Structure 1
Amino acid sequence: MNAPVTRWTAAGAAELADVVALRRAIHAEPEVGLHCPKTTAKLRAALDGLPLEIHESTSTTGFVAILRGGSGAKGDNGRTVLLRGDMDALPMQEETGLDFASTIPNAMHACGHDSHSAMLVGAARALCARRDELPGTVVFMFQPGEEGYHGARFMIEDGLIDIARPDAAFALHISPNMPSGMVVSRAGPLLASTDSLNFTVKGRGGHAAMPHDCVDPLPVACEIVTALNSFVARQIPVTDPAVLSITKITGGSAYNIVPGEVTMLGTLRTLSPQTREKARAGLIRVAEHVALAHGCTAEVRIDEGYPVTMNDARAIDLVRGIAEEIDAENGWRTMPAPMMGGEDFSYVLREVPGCMAFIGVAAEGSDPDTNPPLHNTKMTIDEAVMAKGIALHCAFAEAVLEGGLPQ
Structure 2
Amino acid sequence: MEESLKERIYGMKDWLIEIRREIHMYPELGFEEVKTSRLVSEWLERFGLDVQKGIAGTGVIGLLRGKSPGKTVAIRADMDALPIEELNQVPYASKIKGKMHACGHDAHVTILLGVARIFSSFRDQVKGNIKWIFQPAEEGGGGGKRMVEEGVLENPHVDAIFGAHVFPQIEIGKVGICEGKALASADRFTIKVVGRSGHAASPHLAKDPILVSGHLITQIHCIVSREVDPLDSAVITIGRVSGGSAFNIIPDEVELLGTVRALSPEIREKMRKRIEEIVRGVTQSFGVEYQFEYEYGYPVLVNEPEMIKVVSSACAKGIGEENVVEVQPSMGAEDFAFYLEKVPGAFFRLGIRNESKGIVHPYHNSRFDIDEDVLPFGVEMYVRIIDRYLELGMMG
Q: What TM-score do you get using the length of structure 2 for normalisation?
A: 0.96
Shift of 1:367: 7.2
Shift of 1:209: 0.9
Q: Give the match's secondary structure for 2:116.
A: helix
1:98 matched to 2:90? The reply is yes
Alignment CA distance shift 1:254-1:133 (3 Å): same
1:338 matched to 2:329? The reply is yes
Q: Give the match's secondary structure for 1:351.
A: coil
Q: Which has the higher strand share?
A: 2
Q: C-alpha distance in 1, partners of 2:381/2:260?
A: 33
Q: Letter of the aligned partner of 1:103 in structure 2?
A: K
Ranges of 4+ aligned residues in structure 1 off by more than 6 Å: none
1:387 matched to 2:376? The reply is yes
Aligned partner (choices 362, 366, 390) of residue 373 of structure 1: 362
Shift of 1:253: 0.7
1:265 matched to 2:257? The reply is yes
Aligned to 2:25: 28
RMSD (CA atoms): 1.6
Aligned partner (choices 295, 305, 321) of residue 297 of structure 2: 305
1:399 matched to 2:388? The reply is yes
Shift of 1:13: 0.6
Q: 5+ unaligned residues in a row in structure 1: which ranges?
A: none
Q: What TM-score do you get using the length of structure 1 for normalisation?
A: 0.93
Q: Give the match's secondary structure for 1:355.
A: strand
Alignment CA distance shift 1:228-1:403 (3 Å): farther
Q: Give the match's secondary structure for 2:353.
A: coil
Kept in 2: contact 1:9–1:387 (CA 8 A): no
Aligned to 2:285: 293
C-alpha distance after superposition, 1:72-96 (max 9, x if no partner):
xxxx4x1000000111100000001
Q: C-alpha distance in 2, partners of 1:83/1:192?
A: 21
Shift of 1:207: 1.0
Shift of 1:240: 2.4
Q: C-alpha distance in 2, partners of 1:167/1:68?
A: 14
Which sits farther off after the overlay, 313-322 or 23-32? 313-322
Shift of 1:237: 1.4
Aligned to 2:173: 181
Kept in 2: contact 1:8–1:391 (CA 8 A): no
Alignment CA distance shift 1:240-1:364 (3 Å): closer
Q: C-alpha distance in 2, partners of 1:364/1:60?
A: 38
1:10 matched to 2:24? The reply is no
Kept in 1: contact 2:67–2:126 (CA 8 A): yes
1:59 matched to 2:64? The reply is no
Kept in 1: contact 2:126–2:392 (CA 8 A): no
Kept in 2: contact 1:170–1:356 (CA 8 A): yes
Aligned partner (choices 71, 76, 79) of residue 79 of structure 1: 71
1:140 matched to 2:132? The reply is yes
1:358 matched to 2:349? The reply is yes
1:349 matched to 2:334? The reply is no
Shift of 1:304: 1.2
Aligned partner (choices 213, 222, 227) of residue 235 of structure 1: 227
Q: Letter of the aligned partner of 2:361 in structure 1?
A: P
Q: Give the match's secondary structure for 1:80.
A: strand
Kept in 2: contact 1:176–1:380 (CA 8 A): no
Aligned to 2:203: 211
Aligned to 1:165: 157
Kept in 2: contact 1:8–1:395 (CA 8 A): no
C-alpha distance after superposition, 1:278-332 (max 9, x if no partner):
1111111111111111111222111111011110111111111122222226421
Q: How many correspondences in the alignment? A: 393
Kept in 1: contact 2:45–2:51 (CA 8 A): no
Q: C-alpha distance in 1, partners of 2:10/2:349?
A: 19
